[in-house]
Amino acid sequence: MLQCLRPPPLVSPPLLNPVIQYRVTLLLRGGGSRSRTLDLKTVVKPRPPQVSLSLMDSQVLIRLQSPDSNDYLRDDNQLFQIQLWRGGRSTLQNLSSPSLLLVLDQYRVRGRSLPVNGLQGSWSSWSPTLTPPVDPPADPPADPSP
């Protein structure tokens, strides 16, 4: 029976860091080996951001949020980008904050993110494409004549 001679030290959440370096060694069939240190901060690929659209008067609020916000990837260490399609034209726009207010119009939007601020990697896949809900036209006022 195995027994621990000494209890392990307590590790508090601030000391946990999923972004560390690994030394990888490949053993070659013909003999010999190749080693390389991998810094996981340089191979980060985030998951697609969650995109939500909200109507506010005659504007739509586009919000992007990292699904990994409780992990080492947060909204403040990712660059967000949206792609808008309007009238057959496509536009890419980088966002310095994860929200944007636009004039309500008929368009489609999707988003993605890139790790920044000490992290490196590649763009996430695109989020699903959303179309802002457009308010239905208001009913004409009732005829006041009897």
Whether residue 135 lies inside any domain: the answer is: no
pTM of the model: 0.65
Split at pLDDT 50, 70, 90, the class of 134 is: low
Q: What six digits make up the tokens of 23?
A: 């030394």
Look at the chain and report how many structural domains it folds into.
2
Any idea what the CATH number is for the domain that residue 111 is in?
2.60.40.10
Whether residue 128 lies inside any domain: the answer is: no
Beta bridge partners, 114, equal 79
Question: Of 7-16, 53-62, 83-92, 111-120, where does mean pLDDT reach its minimum?
Answer: 7-16
Whether residue 37 lies inside any domain: the answer is: yes
The residue to which tokens 């034209």 are assigned: 89
- Residues 59, 96: one domain? yes
Q: Which structural domain range is residue 104 located in? A: 50-115
pLDDT tens-digit series, residues 4-61: 455 655 544 444 455 577 888 888 888 889 898 878 777 788 899 998 888 877 778 8
- Residues 55, 25: one domain? no
* C-alpha distances out from residue 64 to 3, 30, 88, 110, 129, Å: 49, 50, 23, 9, 12
